[in-house]
Amino acid sequence: MKAIIKSKLLLSITLSILLTFILMNTSSCSSNIEDPIVEKIDNFFLSLHTPGAPGAAVLVMKGDSIIFSKGYGVTDLDTMTPIDENTFFNIASISKQFSAVALMMLSAEGKLSLDDTVAKWFPEFKSPLMKQITLRHLLSHTSGIPDARNRADRHFATTATDTNSYAYIANIEKLNFMPGAGYEYMNPTYQLMYTIIERASGIKFDTFMEQRIFKPSGMAESTYFEPNKRIPRMTRAYNFDKETGKYVVYDYGEATFFATKADGGLFTSVNEFVKWEIAIRNNTLISEEMRKEAHSPKIETNGSSFSDYQNMPHTYYGYGWFIEESDGMPQKVYHTGSNGGYRAYAGRFPDQKILYLYFSNKSDVNVNEVAKNLDTIFKEAGWLN
User: What does the pLDDT look like over 325-343, one tens digit per residue?
Assistant: 999 999 999 999 999 999 9
Q: Answer whether residue 6 shows pLDDT above 80.
A: no
Would 331 be classed as within a structural domain?
Answer: yes
Q: Answer whether residue 70 shows pLDDT above 80.
A: yes
The contacts of residue 188 (CB under 8 Å, 6+ apart) are 145, 147, 149, 165, 166, 168, 169, 263
**Average of pLDDT values for 207-231?**
97
**Average of pLDDT values for 33-44?**
88
Q: Which domain holds residue 118?
A: 27-380
At residue 320's C-alpha, the angle toward residues 314 and 201, to 5°, is 165
| 171 — pLDDT class (breaks 50, 70, 90) | very high
pLDDT of the residue at 27 = 47
Choose among 225, 281, 256: nearest CA to 338: 256
Would 333 be classed as within a structural domain?
Answer: yes
Choose among 359, 170, 143, 164: nearest CA to 256: 164
Q: Answer whether residue 10 shows pLDDT above 90.
A: no
pLDDT of the residue at 33 = 56
pLDDT of the residue at 35 = 86
Higher pLDDT, 23 or 265: 265
Provide the angle, in degrees to the nearest 10, between the axes of the packed helices 36-48 and 367-380: 160
Parallel, antiparallel or unpaired: strands 266-268 and 342-349:
unpaired
Q: Answer whether residue 17 shows pLDDT above 60.
A: no
| 34 — pLDDT class (breaks 50, 70, 90) | low
pTM of the model: 0.92
pLDDT of the residue at 3 = 43
Average pLDDT over all residues of the chain: 92
**Average of pLDDT values for 59-70?**
97
Would 31 be classed as within a structural domain?
Answer: yes
pLDDT of the residue at 178 = 98
Q: Answer whether residue 116 shows pLDDT above 90.
A: yes
How many CA atoms does the CB half-sphere of 192 hold within 13 Å?
Answer: 27
Assess contact for 62 and 377: CB atoms under 8 A. no
- The number of folded domains in the chain is 1
**Average of pLDDT values for 98-107?**
98
**Average of pLDDT values for 89-115?**
98
Would 2 be classed as within a structural domain?
Answer: no
pLDDT of the residue at 19 = 35
Q: Answer whether residue 367 shows pLDDT above 90.
A: yes
Would 9 be classed as within a structural domain?
Answer: no
360 vs 277: CA distance, rounded Å: 19
pLDDT of the residue at 169 = 98
| 163 — pLDDT class (breaks 50, 70, 90) | very high
**Average of pLDDT values for 175-199?**
98
56 vs 358: CA distance, rounded Å: 7
Tell me the sheet residues that pair with 355: 61, 348
How many CA atoms does the CB half-sphere of 277 hold within 13 Å?
Answer: 27
Q: For the domain that residue 334 is a member of, what is the CATH number?
A: 3.40.710.10
**Average of pLDDT values for 315-320?**
98
**Average of pLDDT values for 119-129?**
97
Would 20 be classed as within a structural domain?
Answer: no
Would 152 be classed as within a structural domain?
Answer: yes
| 11 — pLDDT class (breaks 50, 70, 90) | very low
**Average of pLDDT values for 184-212?**
98
Q: Answer whether residue 93 shows pLDDT above 70.
A: yes
The contacts of residue 363 (CB under 8 Å, 6+ apart) are 237, 238, 239, 240, 250, 338, 340, 341, 342, 343
Provide the angle, in degrees to the nearest 10, between the axes of the packed helices 187-201 and 96-108: 40
Q: Answer whether residue 108 shows pLDDT above 70.
A: yes
Would 327 be classed as within a structural domain?
Answer: yes
| 287 — pLDDT class (breaks 50, 70, 90) | very high
174 Rama class: left (phi>0) / alpha (psi -120 to 50) / beta: beta
Q: What is the largest CA-CA distance in the chain?
A: 83
